[in-house]
Amino acid sequence: MRKLLILVLMFVTGLGCQREKKLYPNAPTIALVMKTLNNPFFIDMQKGAEEAASRLKVNLIVQAPEREVDVEKQMQIIENLIQRKVDAICVAPSGSKEIVPAILKANKAGIPVLVVDTRVDEQALKEAHGKIATFIGSDNYEGGKIAGNYIIERLNGQGKVAILEGIPGHETGDARLRGFLDAVKKAPGIEVVTSQTANWERDQGFNVFQNILQSHPEVQALFACNDMMALGAIEAIAAAGKTGQIIVVGFDAVEDAREAIQNGTMAGSIAQYPSEMGRLAIETAVNVINGQKVPEFIPTKIELITREKLAANYTE
């Protein structure tokens, strides 16, 4: 049996940076294409993938655009990986529909595609006659419901709420938004006064929520579809002199968000496990390369993180 060695090549596409850790050309190569490396969520995903690659002795290439909104750059990355004839591609799509043509090219090249974190638009994939090996990720709809129910609880069923959405048409954010809205519409005393996009980014979270505070000073709670936007909103709240007056709930439970929860500037966050996603992506890709049948959906867990949870010595 051929001895497998590890290769980890990490690129930050768009930053012009390439760093090679190990180079052993005799091993099969798996690519992990993420949305960005400027978000702690994806840094954790990368760490999980690296751990699995090292343990399983497989080659790993990690690439990502500089910004999550750069769908075209992500497609270019995948096309380049196809030209390099990698053995499998694991991708966290920047665009649920936009990624389909790149998947088709991988299909034609005989390279299996595993989707991580964000689902591909099923209808678009079906109409294009494309296929993926599996989806690995959280139930984002359920996470949105958990966030909604928590805000209802914190507001005692009465209050005005704002929402910061992710990239429009992005399956992950759309599912979280649907789950949240389905939860709060069951509480007639809860009013969603505005729902605006901040494109997953901290700076935009600050700017958009600063404007929301000016146009809707009555807002009592905020649901941000990821922690980066929530953290930006917390900065806007502080700038407005309203720290501690607005309940903020995010999604991902990244380290900065946990610190904000601990110090009381953030009420909670829906924890995902990106390191688990990265680990499962590589483990499953190895199984696919070896011809094994894998499930169509491999779920990763979610849960609400609050100050009380952290005080109880919650650890991932």
Write down the pLDDT at residue 169: 82
311 band by pLDDT with thresholds 50, 70 and 90: confident
CATH fold, domain 140-271, is Rossmann fold (3.40.50)
Tens digits of residue pLDDT in 217-246 = 999 999 999 999 999 999 999 999 999 999
Amino acid at the residue 233: A
Write down the pLDDT at residue 24: 61
The residues of the chain that CATH labels 3.40.50.2300 are 7-137+274-299, 140-271
Contacts of 307 (CB under 8 A, 6+ apart): 261, 262, 264, 267, 268
Backbone φ and ψ for 41, nearest 5 degrees, come out as -60, -45
| pTM given for the model | 0.80
pLDDT over threshold 60, residue 296: yes
pLDDT over threshold 90, residue 2: no
User: In whole numbers, what is the pLDDT of the chain averaged over residues?
Assistant: 91
Write down the pLDDT at residue 27: 84
Write down the pLDDT at residue 198: 97
The fraction of the chain above a pLDDT of 90, given in percent, is 83
Q: Is 264 left (phi over 0), alpha (psi -120 to 50) or beta?
A: left
Tens digits of residue pLDDT in 243-291 = 999 999 999 999 999 999 999 999 999 999 999 999 999 999 999 999 9
Write down the pLDDT at residue 5: 36
The residue with greater pLDDT, 69 or 58, is 58
Write down the pLDDT at residue 162: 99
Side-chain half-sphere exposure of 303, counting CA atoms within 13 A: 9
Region 2-11 average pLDDT: 38
Please count the other Cβ atoms lying within 10 Å of the Cβ belonging to residue 206. Answer: 21
- Classify residue 149 by burial, with Cβ atoms within 10 Å: 0-12, 13-18, 19+: middle
Q: Among 178, 175, 237, 176, which residue's Cα sits nearest to residue 205?
A: 237
Write down the pLDDT at residue 313: 57
pLDDT over threshold 70, residue 38: yes
68 band by pLDDT with thresholds 50, 70 and 90: confident
CATH fold, domain 7-137+274-299, is Rossmann fold (3.40.50)
Region 163-169 average pLDDT: 92
pLDDT over threshold 50, residue 150: yes
Write down the pLDDT at residue 316: 47
Cβ distance 222 to 248 under 8 Å? yes
